[in-house]
Amino acid sequence: MRAAVWHGPRDVRVEDVAPRLPGPGEVSVTVAYCGICGSDLHEYADGPHAIPVKEPHPESGRTAPLTLGHEFCGTVAAVGPGVTGFEPGDPVAVEPHYRCGECARCEAGEYNLCRHFGFAGLMGDGGLAERAVVPSYMLHRLPDDLPLEQAAVFEPAAVALHGIRRSGLQEGETVAVVGLGPIGLLVVQLAVRYGAGKVIGCDPSPTRRALARRLGAADVVDAGELPPGLADLAFEAVGAERTLNDCLAATRRGGRVVLLGLGGMFAIDAFALVNNEQSIITSVGYRDCHPELIRLASEEGMDFASIVTSVVPLDEVVRDGFETLLNTMEEIKVLVRP
C-alpha cells in the first residue's frame, strides 16, 4: 500500500509499505480522508519534535521512519482478535490518542493526560496511507448518512471543543479568538454554538477573517488590533509570545485566557497578570469530545468541513499539502484522500 512516511525534516516520502494485519485489540481502517495538521507541518519543516527517533513510544512501539497523519476517518477493513462492536464496512472516525488505561490520569478518565501521551500519526503510524491499523479504543462508529468529509475534521474540532470546555465559557460572554487557523476557526464556530454573546476573530489574513465571519464571528480585526479589555475570555490559537500578550491585553480584569497554541518559552508581565487577577488556562488534546461532535454534525447539521479549502491525492501530499501550507495563508485545512 502507499503511505506518506516521515524520514526526517523535509524528507517525507510517499512510498510502498507492507500492509499490517490488525493484532489483538486492533482494527485496520481503509482511510477515506486525512487532514494535515500544524503539528504535521512542524515535523515536516524542522522535526523531529514529537516523532520518536531513538526510543520507541511505549504504546505504539514505533520509531521513525513512520507514517504521518492523525486527523483521519474511513471504513473498517478488518478487526483483530478480541475486538467487538466493529465490523468490516463500518464508517468510523479515529480519535488518535494513545492511552495506557492504567496510570492515575487514565483511571480518572483524563486519558489525554496519560503518562504515555501521544498520537497515532506522530508517535506511531497514522492515516496518511491507504490503510491504518489502530487500537479499537480509538474508533467511533459513525451514522451511515454522515459524510466522511465531516468526520475528517472531528480531530481538530475536538481540540477546539476541549478548549471551550476547559475555558468555562458562560452564556453571553464576549470571546476573542487570536489566530484563525483551523483550530481558531473551529473555536469561533463552537463558541457561537455554546452561547457566546459576541465572538471577535483576529488574524492577519483577510481570507481567514472572512471565513470567521461566515462561521458566526460578530467582528473580525487584523493582527494586533483587538480592543483592550473587551473580552471576558480569549483563546490563543497561534503559539507565540506576541499573541499570548495580545490575548492578555484584550481580556478584562478577572478574565481568562486559554492557551491552545504550541510554543516555546514566553515572557509575560506577571505583575499585570496578578494585579488584573487574570487566569491563563492550558488545554491539550481532548477527551470525550467525539460523541458530541458526531451529534452536532448528524443531528444539528453543523458543518465542520466548512474550513476545508483543498482535497489532494496522497501522491501529491508534499507539493500540494505540506509545501503549499507552509508558503500561503490562503489554504486553511487540506485533506488528503488516499
Each residue of 21-39: pLDDT tens digit? 999 999 999 999 999 999 9
Q: Are residues 112 and 237 in the same domain?
A: no
Query: Taking Cα atoms as reference points, which of 288, 291, 284, 289 lies closest to residue 113?
Result: 284
* Mean of pLDDT over the chain: 97
Total residues belonging to the chain: 338
Q: Are residues 6 and 143 in the same domain?
A: yes
According to DSSP, the residues that pair with 131 across neighbouring strands are 30
Res 267: pLDDT? 96
Q: Are residues 253 and 323 in the same domain?
A: no
State how far the Cα of 307 lies from the Cα of 180, in Å rounded to an integer.
10
| Parallel, antiparallel or unpaired: strands 2-8 and 11-16 | antiparallel
The reply to whether 124 falls in a domain is yes
C-beta separation of 37 from 76 below 8 A: no
Show Cβ contacts of residue 297 under 8 Å, excluding neighbours closer than 6 positions.
146, 150, 151, 154, 303, 304
The reply to whether 37 falls in a domain is yes
For the chain, the farthest-separated pair of C-alpha atoms sits apart, in whole angstroms, at 59
Q: Are residues 117 and 136 in the same domain?
A: yes
Q: Are residues 21 and 110 in the same domain?
A: yes
Each residue of 217-274: pLDDT tens digit? 999 999 999 999 999 999 999 999 999 999 999 999 999 999 999 999 999 999 999 9
Res 185: pLDDT? 98
The reply to whether 289 falls in a domain is no
The reply to whether 300 falls in a domain is no
Burial per residue of 178-193, b for 16 or more beta-carbon CB atoms within 10 angstroms, e otherwise: bbbbbbbbbbbbbbbe
CA atoms within 13 A on the CB side of 276: 20
Res 117: pLDDT? 94
Res 161: pLDDT? 98
Angle between helices 154-167 and 182-193 (to 10 degrees): 60
Res 297: pLDDT? 98
The reply to whether 255 falls in a domain is yes
Res 259: pLDDT? 98
Q: Are residues 86 and 165 in the same domain?
A: no
Q: Are residues 219 and 165 in the same domain?
A: yes
- Indicate the number of domains in the chain: 2
- CATH number, domain with residue 242: 3.40.50.720
- CATH number, domain with residue 102: 3.90.180.10
Res 217: pLDDT? 98
Note down the domain range covering 243. Answer: 157-282
The reply to whether 294 falls in a domain is no
C-beta separation of 191 from 175 below 8 A: yes
The reply to whether 72 falls in a domain is yes
